[in-house]
């Protein structure tokens, strides 16, 4: 063996640790990408409304739909809010009007506020998933906290080019939910039936846009004018 | 006659440049980061593990995520693959002092560094969102560039 070959052979042995490190990194990288491809897709997460059995019958639909309320159920004024988590005006209502209503009327027992999902779909492609996410949080007793986070972060997760499952899970963790339980709920079809029924109920009630407010059976047209809304509630509550 | 050739003649060929080994390892890491982002872009990966702020989605969904009609992560995949191949060639016996390898490593790493700096500036001043995977890639590109600086000496020596 010539001197050059000896040097090359010795050099080849010297490169062995380098190749081992490179190989290990390749294995880790391929495994991580594989996990991302298999485990981090939308998976079984329901992203769209599903057919609701018996939806033709209004009574059945009312039974299947399920609002989430805050306040005294026997309050003289009942305000139904049909809302979409990706709708900016709904975000405005949630951030600016709802807190005033809660402080001024709900706490005093004059008003019951009931939230109904009305995911518009179309451009709001994750609003159905968001509605389900909030209900998953509700399962752990933190619907309203999660509701507020979703509206607060609306512009971020709404801009996602993929279903924002990871973001929703991180929000859940942020407000102290059991992430694993939340994730199991989110990445399934849990609450797809309830959210779908809520939307159908809204459609039956003539809801076409969001947010739509219905106060004791009457639609509130100018909800963004708080003074006007307040006067209406006061009248209904007999204040 | 190149430095490596002289060393071989004297029977004490220089050890493979450790900086090139570092470049190869970092390029492979960068390749996987870029592949992950590309798979997300192509819809193969549903969502990115990106933390609560969703910055990756904002950046990936922005109009800046495409460069010359090609998704930015695809440029990353190609660039890191080229760097990996060149660095692997550069650690082979007989190529340690090859000026072509030195020039290619220096040029590729400089382009990757400048492109990463441009993308990071876009995140900071135009998109106003941070994608941690993009930042990781920028960090890798910067480290590769620093490791490629000794190639200047090899070029001068050649």
The per-residue pLDDT for range A117-175, each reduced to its tens digit, is: 999 877 888 999 999 999 999 999 999 999 999 999 999 999 887 789 889 999 999 99
Chain A residues with CB under 8 Å of B57 CB are 156-157, 159-162, 164, 167
Percent over 70 (pLDDT), chain B: 79
Average pLDDT, chain B: 83
The overall longest dimension of chain A from CA atoms, in Å, is 105
B31 vs A: CB within 8 A: yes
Find the CB nearest A161 among B8, B12, B57.
Answer: B57
B45 vs A: CB within 8 A: yes
Q: What are the tokens at A61?
A: 């639909």
pLDDT of residue A106: 96
pLDDT of residue B61: 67
Residues in chain A whose Cβ is within 8 Å of chain B: 3-4, 6-8, 11-12, 14-15, 18, 21-22, 25-26, 29-30, 32-33, 36-37, 40-43, 153, 156-157, 159-167, 170-171, 173-174
CA distance A86 to A127: 6
CA distance A46 to B111: 43
Per-residue pLDDT averaged across A66-78, rounded?
A: 95
Residue A7 to residue B60, Cβ atoms within 8 A: no
Per-residue pLDDT averaged across B21-26, rounded?
A: 95
CA distance A18 to chain B (A): 7
Pure H helices in A15-164: 16-39, 58-64, 88-92, 98-101, 127-139, 143-152, 154-158
CA distance A193 to A122: 19
Find the CB nearest A166 among B11, B44, B50.
Answer: B50
Q: Which of A37-51, A191-205, B119-133 has the lowest mean pLDDT?
A: A37-51
Per-residue pLDDT averaged across A22-39, rounded?
A: 86
CA distance B155 to chain A (A): 22
Q: Among residues 98-127 of chain B, which lie with CB inside 8 Å of chain A?
A: none
Find the CB nearest A170 among B44, B51, B60.
Answer: B51
Q: How many CB atoms lie within 10 A of CB A225?
A: 12
pLDDT of residue A43: 57
pLDDT of residue A42: 60
Find the CB nearest B46 among A4, A29, A165.
Answer: A165
- Given the cut 0.90, state whether the ipTM is greater than it: no
Please state whether the predicted TM-score (pTM) of the whole model is above 0.95: no
Q: Which of A49-63, A109-123, A194-208, B120-134 has the lowest mean pLDDT?
A: A49-63
Confidence of residue B3 (pLDDT cuts 50, 70, 90): very low
B64 vs A: CB within 8 A: no
Confidence of residue A9 (pLDDT cuts 50, 70, 90): very low
B-interface mutation test, from A10, A11, A126, most B Cβ less than 10 A away: A11
By the 10 Å C-beta count (0-12 exposed, 13-18 middle, 19+ buried), B102 is classed as buried
Distances, alpha carbon B100 to alpha carbons A87, A185, B111, B151, in Å: 57, 57, 16, 10
B155 vs A: CB within 8 A: no
């Amino acid at each position: 063996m010539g001197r050059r070959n000896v040097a090359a052979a010795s050099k080849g042995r010297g490169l062995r640790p380098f190749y081992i490190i490179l190989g290990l990194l390749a294995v880790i990288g391929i495994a991580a990408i594989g996990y991302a491809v298999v485990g981090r897709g939308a998976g079984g997460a329901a992203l769209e409304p599903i057919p609701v059995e018996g939806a033709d019958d209004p009574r059945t639909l009312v039974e299947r739909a399920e609002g989430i309320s805050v306040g005294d159920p026997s309050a003289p004024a009942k305000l139904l809010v049909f809302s979409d988590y990706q709708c900016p005006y709904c975000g405005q209502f949630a951030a600016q009007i709802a807190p005033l209503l809660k402080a001024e009327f709900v706490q005093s027992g004059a008003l019951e506020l009931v939230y109904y999902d009305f995911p518009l779909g179309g451009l709001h492609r994750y609003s159905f998933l968001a509605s389900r996410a909030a209900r998953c949080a509700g399962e752990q007793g933190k619907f309203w906290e999660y509701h507020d986070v979703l509206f607060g972060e609306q512009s971020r997760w709404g801009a996602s080019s993929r279903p924002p499952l990871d973001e929703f899970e991180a929000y859940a963790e942020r407000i102290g939910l059991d992430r694993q339980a939340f994730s199991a709920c989110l990445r399934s079809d849990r609450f797809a039936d309830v959210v779908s029924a809520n939307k159908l109920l809204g459609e039956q009630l003539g809801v076409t846009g969001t947010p739509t407010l219905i106060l004791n059976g009457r639609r509130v047209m100018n909800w963004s004018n708080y003074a006007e809304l307040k006067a209406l509630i006061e009248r209904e509550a007999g204040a | 006659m190149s430095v490596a050739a002289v060393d071989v003649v004297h029977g004490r060929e220089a050890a493979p440049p450790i900086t090139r080994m570092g470049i190869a390892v970092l390029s492979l890491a960068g390749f996987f980061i870029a592949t992950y982002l590309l798979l997300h872009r192509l819809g193969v990966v549903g969502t990115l593990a990106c933390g609560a702020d969703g910055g990756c989605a904002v950046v990936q969904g922005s109009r800046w995520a495409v460069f010359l009609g090609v998704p930015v992560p695809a440029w990353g995949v190609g660039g890191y693959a080229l760097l990996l191949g060149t660095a692997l060639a550069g650690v082979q016996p007989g190529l340690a002092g090859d000026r072509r390898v030195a020039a290619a490593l220096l040029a590729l790493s400089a382009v990757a560094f400048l492109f990463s700096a441009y993308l990071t500036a876009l995140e900071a001043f135009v998109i106003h969102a941070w994608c941690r995977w993009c930042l990781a890639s920028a960090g890798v590109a910067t480290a590769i560039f620093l490791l490629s600086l000794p190639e200047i000496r090899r070029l001068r020596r050649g």
